[in-house]
Structure 1
């Protein structure tokens, strides 16, 4: 049975779209796995990383901007769509502050030679307040 959540149960979502070079997918998956564990540890309700599968769906002629175009993905890239779910924007701010204070986020723990497994300039990010929320 589906049920609509009341206004007091609205969620807040941080959403990301980015292009990851295919050769870096394993490194990205490892980084994302560690990040997911960290966000959940500090209170996020859900953490999802998903790779593009149906990037040019047939929408019966409806014009739209495909994700690969949005992420400026090339033929050797995979589009990643990810999101983190929180109770509210305030909860998001609290969780993100805890994540940023966590010693695991200390730059000394990162290998500078490896760098990020994706081009940060092609990442799109935003915070979204839910207006409709169904749960099973």
Structure 2
């Protein structure tokens, strides 16, 4: 079964194009190191909750948009090896590919799927 790294961040809405450029440059590094799929999703229907929500999770401001992203890997072993290489790749360094958002408010983690459904086209 696959393995997934998930990310949620608050990106200044004015930086959408910068974010897309940043993601395109960085996401190829994941793919080169074993990831099978990367999705970067710009929030357009992110509602406020009564107790918690995506916006509060990343302390999003009024002029920011929540981005939900994930990287799919074939398995955790490939992810562990690949992620180690990704973190050392110079293309991922802030000097080379600066984050157009506050990385201190990004949340992330690795997840083992427990249910996986998909349609075959």
* TM-score normalised to structure 2 length: 0.85
Unaligned runs of 5+ in 1: 1-9
Distance 1:134 1:88, change over 3 A: same
Pick from 1, 4, 8: which aligns with 1:17?
Answer: 8
Pick from 29, 35, 59: which aligns with 1:72?
Answer: 59
1:6 corresponds to: none
User: Between Structure 1 and Structure 2, whose CA radius of gyration is higher?
Assistant: 1
Aligned equivalents of 1:56, 1:73: Cα separation in 2: 12
1:100 corresponds to: 87
Aligned equivalents of 1:106, 1:67: Cα separation in 2: 26
- The number of equivalent residue pairs is 119
Aligned equivalents of 2:62, 2:70: Cα separation in 1: 24
1:119 corresponds to: 102
Paired residue secondary structure (1:117): coil
Unaligned runs of 5+ in 2: none
Task: Compute the RMSD of aligned alpha carbons.
Answer: 2.2
